[in-house]
Amino acid sequence: MDKIGPEVSIVVPLLNEQDNIEPLYEQITKTLDNKYKYEILFIDDGSTDNSFDILTRLQKANARIRVICFRKNFGQTAALSAGFAHARGQIIAAIDADLQNDPADIPKMIDKLNEGFDVVSGWRKKRHDNAITRLLPSKIANWLISKITGVKLHDFGCTLKAYRKEILAETKLYGEMHRFIPALASWSGARIAEIVVNHRPRTTGTTKYGLERTVKVILDLITVKFLLSFSTKPNQLFGGWGFLALFFGGVSGLVVILMKILQGRDMTGNALLYLTILLFVIGIQFILMGLLAELLVRTYHESQNRPTYVIKEILESSTEEG
Q: Residue 59 domain-assigned?
A: yes
Residues 20 and 120 in one domain: yes
Listed residue (208, 41, 63, 185) closest to 113, CA to CA: 185
Residues 113 and 202 in one domain: yes
pLDDT computed for residue 312 by the predictor = 61
Looking at the 3D structure of the chain, how many domains does it have?
Answer: 2
Q: What pLDDT, in 10s, does the model give residues 128-175? A: 766 666 677 778 888 888 888 888 898 988 999 999 999 988 777 776
pLDDT computed for residue 322 by the predictor = 46
Residues 55 and 175 in one domain: yes
Residues 16 and 148 in one domain: yes
Residues 105 and 239 in one domain: no
**Sheet (strand 38-44) strand order:** 65-69, 38-44, 8-14, 91-94, 161-164, 119-123, 192-196
Residues 15 and 152 in one domain: yes
Mean per-residue pLDDT for 8-37?
Answer: 95
pLDDT computed for residue 3 by the predictor = 57
Cα dist. 195→45, 161, 165, 177, 186 in Å?
Answer: 28, 10, 19, 21, 17
pLDDT computed for residue 56 by the predictor = 93
Residues 31 and 115 in one domain: yes
CATH at residue 89: 3.90.550.10
Residues 178 and 270 in one domain: no
Q: What pLDDT, in 10s, does the model give residues 71-80? A: 999 888 889 9
Percent of the chain with pLDDT over 90: 45
Residues 22 and 128 in one domain: yes
Q: What pLDDT, in 10s, does the model give residues 269-278? A: 788 888 999 9
Domain that holds residue 71: 8-229
Q: Residue 148 domain-assigned?
A: yes
Q: Answer whether residue 122 shows pLDDT above 70.
A: yes
Residues 102 and 240 in one domain: no
pLDDT computed for residue 121 by the predictor = 94
Residues 243 and 147 in one domain: no
Q: Kindly indicate the confidence band of residue 226, based on its pLDDT and cuts at 50, 70 and 90.
A: confident
156/182 Cα distance (integer angstroms): 8
Q: Which of 52-56, 69-73, 194-198, 259-263 is predicted least confidently? A: 259-263
